[in-house]
């Protein structure tokens, strides 16, 4: 499968006691941890 025309990698975060806390997610199919990743097509927003 070809890559989508644009790709994103998102690290959700919030500040707690003045320090950033990041969210990473464990994939249920492969069991590894990652940020939120994906891509889009030309007409998607």
| Beta-carbon count within 10 A of 4 CB | 13
In a domain? residue 17? yes
Question: pTM for the full model?
Answer: 0.63
Cα gap 35→22, rounded to integer Å: 9
In a domain? residue 31? yes
pLDDT of residue 33: 96
Phi/psi at 10 (5° precision): -115, 130
In a domain? residue 11? yes
Domain containing residue 33: 6-40
pLDDT of residue 36: 94
Q: Encode pLDDT of 1-44 as tens digits.
A: 666 788 899 999 999 999 999 999 999 999 999 999 998 887 77
pLDDT of residue 22: 97
pLDDT of residue 42: 75
pLDDT of residue 1: 63
């Amino acid at each position: 499968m070809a890559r989508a025309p644009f790709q994103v990698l998102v690290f959700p975060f919030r500040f707690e006691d003045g320090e950033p806390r990041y969210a990473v997610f464990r994939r249920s199919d492969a069991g590894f941890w990652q940020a939120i990743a994906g891509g889009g097509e030309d007409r998607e927003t």
